[in-house]
Protein backbone atom coordinates (compact mmCIF):
# COMPACT_ATOMS: atom_id res chain seq x y z
CA UNK A 1 0.00 0.00 0.00
CA UNK A 2 1.24 3.34 -0.81
CA UNK A 3 0.35 6.71 0.31
CA UNK A 4 -1.54 8.79 -2.20
CA UNK A 5 1.06 11.42 -1.89
CA UNK A 6 3.94 9.08 -2.36
CA UNK A 7 4.02 9.47 -6.12
CA UNK A 8 3.74 13.27 -6.02
CA UNK A 9 6.85 15.35 -6.56
CA UNK A 10 7.86 17.28 -3.55
CA UNK A 11 9.70 20.60 -3.98
CA UNK A 12 13.09 20.83 -2.37
CA UNK A 13 13.12 21.88 1.17
CA UNK A 14 13.34 25.65 1.59
CA UNK A 15 14.47 27.39 4.70
CA UNK A 16 11.73 29.58 5.84
CA UNK A 17 14.10 31.86 7.77
CA UNK A 18 14.85 35.24 6.10
CA UNK A 19 18.33 35.66 4.58
CA UNK A 20 20.44 38.05 6.66
CA UNK A 21 21.41 41.15 4.68
CA UNK A 22 24.34 43.35 5.84
CA UNK A 23 23.17 46.31 7.75
CA UNK A 24 23.51 49.72 6.16
CA UNK A 25 25.84 50.91 8.93
CA UNK A 26 28.23 47.97 8.31
CA UNK A 27 28.33 48.66 4.56
CA UNK A 28 28.95 52.36 5.11
CA UNK A 29 31.66 51.55 7.67
CA UNK A 30 33.46 49.20 5.32
CA UNK A 31 33.31 51.78 2.50
CA UNK A 32 34.70 54.44 4.80
CA UNK A 33 37.59 52.27 5.92
CA UNK A 34 38.41 51.31 2.34
CA UNK A 35 38.22 54.95 1.19
CA UNK A 36 40.29 56.19 4.10
CA UNK A 37 42.88 53.52 3.41
CA UNK A 38 43.12 54.54 -0.25
CA UNK A 39 43.38 58.22 0.70
CA UNK A 40 46.09 57.38 3.24
CA UNK A 41 48.11 55.41 0.69
CA UNK A 42 47.74 58.23 -1.85
CA UNK A 43 48.80 60.86 0.69
CA UNK A 44 51.82 58.77 1.67
CA UNK A 45 52.83 58.45 -2.00
CA UNK A 46 52.52 62.23 -2.48
CA UNK A 47 54.58 62.81 0.68
CA UNK A 48 57.36 60.47 -0.49
CA UNK A 49 57.49 62.08 -3.95
CA UNK A 50 57.54 65.56 -2.35
CA UNK A 51 60.35 64.56 0.01
CA UNK A 52 62.46 63.17 -2.84
CA UNK A 53 61.87 66.37 -4.83
CA UNK A 54 62.81 68.55 -1.86
CA UNK A 55 66.00 66.58 -1.26
CA UNK A 56 66.91 66.95 -4.93
CA UNK A 57 66.57 70.74 -4.68
CA UNK A 58 68.34 70.96 -1.33
CA UNK A 59 71.33 68.96 -2.56
CA UNK A 60 74.48 71.11 -2.17
CA UNK A 61 75.66 72.76 -5.33
CA UNK A 62 78.68 70.98 -6.79
CA UNK A 63 80.46 74.29 -7.22
CA UNK A 64 79.87 75.17 -3.57
CA UNK A 65 81.17 71.76 -2.49
CA UNK A 66 84.42 72.25 -4.40
CA UNK A 67 87.39 73.08 -2.17
CA UNK A 68 88.31 76.74 -1.91
CA UNK A 69 91.24 77.94 -3.93
CA UNK A 70 94.54 77.99 -2.12
CA UNK A 71 95.43 81.34 -0.63
CA UNK A 72 98.00 83.37 -2.51
CA UNK A 73 101.61 82.99 -1.55
CA UNK A 74 104.05 85.76 -0.91
CA UNK A 75 105.93 87.31 -3.80
CA UNK A 76 109.21 85.58 -4.54
CA UNK A 77 112.30 87.18 -3.02
CA UNK A 78 115.80 86.46 -4.27
CA UNK A 79 118.37 85.10 -1.86
CA UNK A 80 122.08 86.04 -1.81
CA UNK A 81 122.69 83.94 -4.93
CA UNK A 82 119.77 85.49 -6.84
CA UNK A 83 117.59 82.38 -6.49
CA UNK A 84 113.89 83.06 -5.80
CA UNK A 85 112.86 82.09 -2.30
CA UNK A 86 109.10 82.01 -1.68
CA UNK A 87 107.86 82.63 1.82
CA UNK A 88 105.70 79.97 3.43
CA UNK A 89 102.00 80.14 2.66
CA UNK A 90 100.17 81.37 5.75
CA UNK A 91 97.39 79.22 7.13
CA UNK A 92 94.76 81.95 7.12
CA UNK A 93 93.41 83.82 4.11
CA UNK A 94 93.70 87.36 5.61
CA UNK A 95 97.38 86.76 6.39
CA UNK A 96 98.02 85.31 2.92
CA UNK A 97 96.31 88.28 1.28
CA UNK A 98 98.34 90.73 3.37
CA UNK A 99 101.53 88.90 2.46
CA UNK A 100 100.67 88.97 -1.24
CA UNK A 101 100.19 92.76 -1.09
CA UNK A 102 103.58 93.49 0.47
CA UNK A 103 105.75 95.66 -1.78
CA UNK A 104 108.91 94.12 -0.34
CA UNK A 105 107.79 90.52 -0.01
CA UNK A 106 107.37 90.70 3.76
CA UNK A 107 106.44 87.45 5.42
CA UNK A 108 103.15 88.52 7.00
CA UNK A 109 102.90 85.38 9.12
CA UNK A 110 106.34 86.00 10.66
CA UNK A 111 105.51 89.63 11.34
CA UNK A 112 102.20 88.64 12.91
CA UNK A 113 103.89 85.96 15.03
CA UNK A 114 106.53 88.49 16.09
CA UNK A 115 103.80 90.81 17.38
CA UNK A 116 101.91 87.99 19.07
CA UNK A 117 104.93 87.11 21.22
CA UNK A 118 104.25 90.40 23.04
CA UNK A 119 100.67 91.30 22.18
CA UNK A 120 98.48 88.20 21.92
CA UNK A 121 95.39 90.27 21.03
CA UNK A 122 96.63 90.85 17.46
CA UNK A 123 94.26 89.15 14.99
CA UNK A 124 94.90 87.60 11.58
CA UNK A 125 92.87 90.46 10.11
CA UNK A 126 95.51 92.88 11.48
CA UNK A 127 98.22 91.38 9.28
CA UNK A 128 97.56 93.86 6.47
CA UNK A 129 98.08 96.82 8.82
CA UNK A 130 101.36 95.32 10.03
CA UNK A 131 102.55 94.68 6.48
CA UNK A 132 101.70 98.24 5.46
CA UNK A 133 103.67 99.66 8.39
CA UNK A 134 106.57 97.33 7.58
CA UNK A 135 106.55 98.26 3.89
CA UNK A 136 106.43 101.98 4.70
CA UNK A 137 109.51 101.70 6.87
CA UNK A 138 111.44 99.50 4.46
CA UNK A 139 110.78 102.19 1.85
CA UNK A 140 112.72 104.62 4.08
CA UNK A 141 115.80 102.58 3.16
CA UNK A 142 117.41 102.84 6.59
CA UNK A 143 119.45 99.93 7.92
CA UNK A 144 119.36 100.91 11.59
CA UNK A 145 116.17 101.98 13.35
CA UNK A 146 115.71 102.80 17.00
CA UNK A 147 113.41 100.77 19.21
CA UNK A 148 111.29 103.89 19.80
CA UNK A 149 111.38 105.19 16.22
CA UNK A 150 108.88 108.10 16.15
CA UNK A 151 107.73 107.40 12.58
CA UNK A 152 106.99 103.76 13.36
CA UNK A 153 105.27 104.75 16.61
CA UNK A 154 103.00 107.20 14.76
CA UNK A 155 102.16 104.62 12.09
CA UNK A 156 101.40 101.94 14.67
CA UNK A 157 99.25 104.36 16.68
CA UNK A 158 97.27 105.26 13.54
CA UNK A 159 96.84 101.58 12.58
CA UNK A 160 95.85 100.50 16.12
CA UNK A 161 94.06 103.44 17.76
CA UNK A 162 92.77 101.29 20.64
CA UNK A 163 96.18 99.97 21.65
CA UNK A 164 97.53 100.89 25.08
CA UNK A 165 100.77 102.87 25.47
CA UNK A 166 102.55 99.69 26.52
CA UNK A 167 101.29 97.83 23.47
CA UNK A 168 102.29 100.71 21.17
CA UNK A 169 105.80 100.74 22.65
CA UNK A 170 106.15 96.98 22.20
CA UNK A 171 104.73 97.01 18.67
CA UNK A 172 107.10 99.83 17.69
CA UNK A 173 110.11 97.86 18.97
CA UNK A 174 108.94 94.67 17.22
CA UNK A 175 108.36 96.51 13.94
CA UNK A 176 111.75 98.23 14.09
CA UNK A 177 113.52 94.93 14.67
CA UNK A 178 111.58 93.17 11.95
CA UNK A 179 112.22 95.96 9.43
CA UNK A 180 115.95 95.90 10.19
CA UNK A 181 116.08 92.15 9.61
CA UNK A 182 114.13 92.48 6.35
CA UNK A 183 116.34 95.36 5.17
CA UNK A 184 119.42 93.24 5.90
CA UNK A 185 117.88 90.29 4.03
CA UNK A 186 117.10 92.41 0.99
CA UNK A 187 120.63 93.92 0.99
CA UNK A 188 122.43 90.71 1.94
CA UNK A 189 123.90 92.20 5.11
CA UNK A 190 123.72 91.50 8.83
CA UNK A 191 121.07 93.27 10.93
CA UNK A 192 122.65 96.00 13.09
CA UNK A 193 120.76 95.00 16.24
CA UNK A 194 120.32 91.44 17.31
CA UNK A 195 117.36 92.30 19.51
CA UNK A 196 115.47 95.56 19.85
CA UNK A 197 113.09 94.01 22.36
CA UNK A 198 115.44 94.73 25.24
CA UNK A 199 115.94 91.12 26.21
Query: What residue spans define the domains of the chain?
Result: 24-63, 77-187
Task: Quote the mean pLDDT of the chain.
Answer: 74
Higher pLDDT, 89 or 97: 97
Can you tell me the mean pLDDT for 187-196?
73
Give the pLDDT of residue 7. 54
Q: What is the 3-state secondary structure (H, E, C) of the chain?
A: CCCCCCCCCCCCCCCCCCCCCCCHHHHHHHHHHHHHHHHHHHHHHHHHHHHHHHHHHHCCCHHHHCCCCCCCCCCCEECCCCCEECCCCCCCHHHHHHHHCCCCCCCHHHHHHHHHCCCCCCCHHHHHHHHHHHHHHHCCCCCCCCCCCHHHHHHHHHHCCCCCHHHHHHHHHHHHHHHHHHHHHHHCCCCCCCCCCCC
Give the pLDDT of residue 25. 62
For 55-92, the pLDDT digits (tens) are 666 665 544 444 444 444 444 444 556 555 555 556 68
pTM of the shown model: 0.53
Amino acid sequence: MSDSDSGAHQPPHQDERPVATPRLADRVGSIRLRTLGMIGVGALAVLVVGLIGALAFLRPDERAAAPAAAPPTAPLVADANGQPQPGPTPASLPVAQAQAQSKFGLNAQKLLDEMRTHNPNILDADALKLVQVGDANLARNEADLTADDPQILDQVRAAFPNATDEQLTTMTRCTAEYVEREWARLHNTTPPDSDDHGG
